[in-house]
Amino acid sequence: MELVTPSIGLVFWTALAFICLLILLRKLAWKPILGAIHEREQSIDEALNKAELAKQEMTRLTAQNQDLMQQARAERDEILKEAKTLKDGILNEAKKQAQLEGAKLIEKAKIEIENQKKVALAEVKGQVSTLSLEIAERVLRNQLDDKAKQEALVANLLKDVELN
């Protein structure tokens, strides 16, 4: 039974060794352990704060990115609108220019046709006058073969000349 019930001396020396160990641990181990735990706790708090700040920064950057995307889309839409307006203006200007060129070509063609018409009419008149003279010459030769007919013709021409 001696093993189950310790003697007073053993309890005293065990208690004294335990108390010394506690004092030594308190002086040498507890402060560094508690300091390390406190530092670890602070570093975890700092990491959590940094993570929260990073999260807030990410949220801010995401919002800023979305704003930039909206601005870029608005600028793109504006540029496309301006390009379409410019394209329409160029097309309208080209159509007007083509119409003016077409009108000029038509006017030139009309003038050319009119000139060709005048030349053709002058040529026809020349041919008609030549043919008329030839016909008149032949008619007069036939009529002027006779002396009496010549005198009657001259008299008629003199009457016309005196009347005018």
Report if residue 55 sits inside a domain.
yes
* Rg of the chain, C-alpha, whole Å: 64
Average pLDDT over residues 129-157: 72
In a domain, 81, yes or no: yes
Asked if the structure places residue 98 within a domain, the reply is yes
Query: Is residue 91 situated within a structural domain?
Result: yes
**Over the stretch 29-52, which tens digit does the pLDDT of each residue have?**
888 888 889 999 999 999 999 999
Q: How many domains does the chain have?
A: 1
Domain that holds residue 151: 28-163
Asked if the structure places residue 110 within a domain, the reply is yes
- 153, 144 Cβ separation under 8 angstroms: yes
- The percentage of the chain sitting over the pLDDT mark of 90, rounded to a whole number, equals 57
The answer to whether residue 83 scores a pLDDT higher than 70 is yes
pLDDT value of position 136: 72
Quick check: pTM over 0.75? no
Mean pLDDT value of segment 1-18? 82
**20 assigned to some structural domain:** no
